[in-house]
């Protein structure tokens, strides 16, 4: 049997519980300290004004803070920042509730809670998560509340109480102007991803650091890509004077592992000063919002990687159009004189063709990035053997170049790696990678590649060995060293399929 608690303990507990209940049911009106602060700060006239609210995309949080900081520092304005503590999982606080002093959750005044958000590659800015700005300026006294996206509301909110509506709108417009002017994303390389609610996340990325020499393509191909992507910047004024549009779409297509992504990264590295937004995979569905952003941050590049991945996918909602069409529509929205480059990559040009044909003018240049020819394969061996103690005779190289006919650039990169491994197998101290190492690595890789080919054609393969779901790919997937198909390849290719 449990021991009886002494009397004084029970009394203490009762008192604590009573004060807890009082805290939870903090009565309406001036007894809630946060509401009391707001109501006490506003002038009688101000307290009667409408609360004006604006929602912003979550990725604007850091820009809003940047704008607010600049705005707060203006001459003739004082801004006091106060934080609000809400019990965990308590959401849905509005400035309206604070002004009215009603329907309030239990609140406390605190130091402002801050989110430390990136505002550049390697720098951050402390941003208000939930806070009140008590403002005094030429318009009198008013309150601005900022609420970061949270589990209850995925949008960033800014609310204004105490100003006539036009002045509140004017303040929002002023913050818009400052957000645009001071936009932290302008001129940077940004990777676009989606949060679990489908909202856009922008992450600063460092420079790709790929030099021109590291891109092994026929000179005519690389030259064409460069002219189209980079040439416009140097001839911007002349083009505009001659009535020519700057907006352009460049499609790189070709087999996996030939360097479409690699070339794209090289170009991005050359486009300093451009706002560069990179979308891949799932994030391609955000192309509309990202294009709007690009238009606001010109000059800009929007990279749409592996667009075929969404060629057949349909967006949710009533229109239910293929995501690819949304993507092409978004490309059409920008003004022709905007220095805006859309850079698309795919290894399924066939899937794209009908959509592109139905919407002309989106892609003005399509460049095939083909399998490397013999001179290119020779260059690739040199490029990826750069830091390797290669001891190869001319015949060794000739043989390797000959035997790698039909393979990809990434295959050659992998070949060097395997040859190094072969050498390490013989001697754990890397002294020399010889023709014999290279030949062994090649035997091994080509053998593996052929096994995949056999699998593809269903020749002499045990069904148990077929990859699940028909995912037939040699090497490590996209950008892999050699690939004969794409995950999801219909099983009918195999004798055991279908
Ligand atoms: N033309 C090239 N010159 C130099 N290196 C290359 C080239 N192509 C590919 N590589 C090397 O192989 C890697 C994989 O290539 P990459 O990811 O660019 O292929 P991809 O064409 O984009 O393929 P996927 O269609 O699967 O996306 C690159 O990171 C690079 O190291
Ligand atoms: Mg790629």
Nearest residue CA, atom 18 of ligand 1?
259
- The separation between CA 307 and the C-alpha centre of its own chain, rounded to angstroms, equals 15
Query: How many whole angstroms separate alpha carbon 482 and alpha carbon 493?
Result: 18
Looking at the fold, whether 174 and 198 belong to one and the same domain comes out as: no
Q: How far is the CA of 392 from the centre of ligand 2 (A)?
A: 31
Looking at the fold, whether 114 and 142 belong to one and the same domain comes out as: yes
Looking at the fold, whether 39 and 80 belong to one and the same domain comes out as: yes
Looking at the fold, whether 443 and 325 belong to one and the same domain comes out as: no
Total-model pTM: 0.81
Tokens 């023709």 label which residue? 435
Percent share of the chain, pLDDT over 70: 85
Structural domain contains residue 7: no
Is 216's C-beta closer than 6 angstroms to any atom of ligand 1?
Answer: yes
Mean pLDDT of the region 312-334: 69
Q: How far is the CA of 227 from the centre of ligand 2 (A)?
A: 21
Q: How far is the CA of 390 from the centre of ligand 1 (A)?
A: 22
Is 415's C-beta closer than 6 angstroms to any atom of ligand 1?
Answer: no
Residues 215, 216, 222: CA angle, nearest 5 degrees: 75
pLDDT of amino acid 361: 76
Structural domain contains residue 451: yes
Structural domain contains residue 498: no
Total domain count for the chain? 3
Ligand nearest to the CA of 348: 1
pLDDT of amino acid 327: 78
pLDDT of amino acid 314: 61
Ligand nearest to the CA of 262: 1
- Report CA-CA distances (Å) from 15 to 10, 11, 59, 300: 9, 6, 46, 63
pLDDT at 308 over 60: yes
Looking at the fold, whether 447 and 478 belong to one and the same domain comes out as: yes
Looking at the fold, whether 251 and 131 belong to one and the same domain comes out as: no
Looking at the fold, whether 200 and 257 belong to one and the same domain comes out as: yes
pLDDT of amino acid 460: 46
pLDDT of amino acid 374: 95
pLDDT of amino acid 2: 47
Tokens 């790189």 label which residue? 252
pLDDT in tens, 91-133: 779 999 999 998 888 899 999 999 999 999 999 999 999 999 9
Chosen domain end from 368, 398, 413: 368
Q: What is the chain's alpha carbon radius of gyration, rounded to the nearest angstrom?
A: 31
Structural domain contains residue 390: yes
Q: How far is the CA of 269 from the centre of ligand 1 (A)?
A: 16
Is 275's C-beta closer than 6 angstroms to any atom of ligand 1?
Answer: no
pLDDT in tens, 348-400: 888 888 877 777 778 889 999 999 999 999 999 999 999 999 999 999 999 99
pLDDT in tens, 192-202: 999 888 889 99
Q: Which range of residues forms the domain containing residue 98? A: 18-181
pLDDT of amino acid 346: 93
Looking at the fold, whether 240 and 135 belong to one and the same domain comes out as: no
Q: How far is the CA of 443 from the centre of ligand 1 (A)?
A: 22
CATH code for the domain in which residue 281 is found: 3.40.50.300
Nearest residue CA, atom 7 of ligand 1?
259
Structural domain contains residue 1: no
pLDDT at 486 over 80: no
pLDDT in tens, 41-92: 998 888 899 999 999 999 999 999 999 999 999 999 999 999 999 887 777 7
Looking at the fold, whether 157 and 198 belong to one and the same domain comes out as: no
Tokens at 496, concatenated? 């055991």
pLDDT of amino acid 275: 97
Is 258's C-beta closer than 6 angstroms to any atom of ligand 1?
Answer: yes
Is 264's C-beta closer than 6 angstroms to any atom of ligand 1?
Answer: no
Structural domain contains residue 417: yes
Looking at the fold, whether 231 and 302 belong to one and the same domain comes out as: yes
If DSSP states are collapsed to H, E and C, what string results for the chain?
CCCCCCHHHHHHHHHHHHHHHHHHCCCCHHHCHHHHHHHHHCCHHHHCCCCEEEEECHHHHHHHHHHHHHHHCCCCCEEEEEEEECCCCCCCCCHHHHHHCCCCCCCEEECCEEEEEEEECCEEEEEEEEEEEEEEECCEEEEEEEECCCCCCCCEEEEEECCCHHHHHHHHHHHHHHHHHCCCCCCCEEEEEECCCCCEEEEECCCCCCCHHHCCCCHHHHHHHHHHHCHHHHCHHHHHHCCCCCCEEEEEECCCCCCHHHHHHHHHHHCCCCEEEEEEHHHHHHHHHHHHHHHHCCCEEEEEECHHHHCCCECCCCCCCEHHHHHHHHHHHCCCCCCEEEEEEECCHHHHHHHHHHCCCCCCEEEECCCCCHHHHHHHHHHHCCCCCEECCHHHHHHHHHHCCCCCHHHHHHHHHHHHHHHHHHCCCCCCEEHHHHHHHHHHHHHHHHHHHHHHHCCCCCHHHCCHHHCCCCCCCCCCCCCCCCCCCCHHHCCCCC
- The chain-wide mean pLDDT, for the chain, equals 84
Percent share of the chain, pLDDT over 90: 57
Chosen domain end from 151, 181, 211: 181
pLDDT of amino acid 459: 53
Is 347's C-beta closer than 6 angstroms to any atom of ligand 1?
Answer: yes
Ranges 226-230, 325-329, 475-479, most confident: 226-230
**Ligand 1: which of 410, 478, 480 to mutate, most ligand atoms within 8 Å of CB?**
410
pLDDT in tens, 352-363: 888 777 777 788
Confidence grade of residue 492 (pLDDT, cut at 50, 70, 90): very low
Is 257's C-beta closer than 6 angstroms to any atom of ligand 1?
Answer: yes
- Report CA-CA distances (Å) from 260 to 223, 305, 370: 14, 9, 10
Structural domain contains residue 433: yes
Looking at the fold, whether 345 and 197 belong to one and the same domain comes out as: yes
pLDDT in tens, 17-26: 776 666 565 5
Ligand 1 atom closest to 347 (CA)? 25
Structural domain contains residue 88: yes
Looking at the fold, whether 274 and 295 belong to one and the same domain comes out as: yes
Ligand 1 atom closest to 252 (CA)? 21
Tokens at 41, concatenated? 């700060």
Chosen domain end from 347, 368, 389: 368
Structure-model confidence comparison of residues 205 and 452, the more confident one: 205
């Amino acid at each position: 049997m449990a021991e009886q608690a002494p009397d004084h303990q029970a009394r203490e507990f009762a008192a604590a519980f009573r004060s807890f209940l009082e805290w939870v049911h903090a009565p309406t009106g001036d007894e809630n300290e946060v509401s009391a602060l707001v109501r006490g700060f506003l002038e009688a006239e101000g307290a009667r004004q409408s609360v004006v609210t604006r929602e912003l995309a979550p990725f604007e949080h850091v820009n809003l803070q940047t704008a607010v900081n600049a705005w707060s520092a203006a001459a003739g304005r004082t801004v006091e920042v106060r934080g609000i503590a809400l019990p965990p999982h308590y959401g849905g606080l509005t400035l309206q509730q604070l002004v009215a002093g009603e329907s309030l959750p239990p609140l406390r005044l605190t130091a402002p809670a801050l989110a430390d958000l990136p505002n550049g590659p390697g720098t951050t800015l402390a941003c208000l998560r939930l806070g009140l700005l008590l403002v005094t300026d030429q318009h009198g006294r008013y309150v601005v509340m900022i609420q970061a996206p949270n589990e209850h509301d995925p949008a960033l909110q800014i609310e204004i109480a105490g100003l006539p509506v036009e002045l509140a709108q004017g303040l929002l417009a002023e913050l818009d102007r400052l957000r645009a002017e001071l936009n932290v994303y302008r001129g940077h390389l940004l990777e676009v991803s989606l949060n679990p609610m489908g909202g856009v996340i922008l992450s600063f990325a460092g420079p790709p650091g790929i030099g021109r020499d590291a891109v092994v393509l026929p000179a005519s191909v690389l030259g064409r890509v460069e002219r189209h992507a980079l040439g416009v910047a140097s001839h911007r004024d002349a083009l505009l004077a001659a009535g020519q549009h700057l907006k352009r779409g460049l499609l790189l297509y070709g087999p996996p592992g030939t360097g479409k992504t690699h070339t794209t990264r090289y170009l991005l590295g050359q486009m300093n000063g451009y706002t560069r937004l990179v979308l891949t995979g799932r994030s391609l569905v955000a192309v509309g919002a990202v294009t709007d952003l690009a238009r606001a941050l010109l000059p800009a590049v929007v990279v749409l990687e592996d667009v075929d991945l969404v060629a057949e996918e349909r967006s949710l909602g009533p229109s239910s159009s293929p995501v690819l069409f949304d993507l092409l529509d978004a490309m059409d929205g920008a003004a022709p004189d905007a220095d805006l480059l859309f850079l698309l990559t795919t290894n399924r040009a066939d899937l794209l063709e009908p959509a592109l044909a139905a919407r002309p003018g989106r892609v003005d240049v399509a460049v095939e990035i083909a399998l490397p020819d013999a001179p290119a394969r020779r260059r690739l061996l040199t490029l990826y053997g750069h830091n390797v103690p290669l001891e190869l005779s001319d015949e060794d190289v000739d043989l390797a170049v000959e035997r790698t006919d039909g393979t990809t650039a990434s295959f050659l990169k992998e070949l060097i790696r395997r040859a190094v491994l072969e050498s390490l197998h013989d001697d754990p101290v890397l002294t020399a990678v010889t023709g014999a190492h290279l030949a062994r690595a090649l035997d091994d890789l080509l053998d593996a590649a052929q096994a995949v080919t056999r699998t593809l054609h269903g020749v002499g393969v045990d069904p148990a060995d077929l990859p699940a779901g028909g995912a037939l790919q040699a090497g490590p997937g996209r950008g892999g060293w050699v690939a004969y198909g794409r995950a999801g390849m219909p099983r009918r290719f195999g004798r055991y399929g279908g």
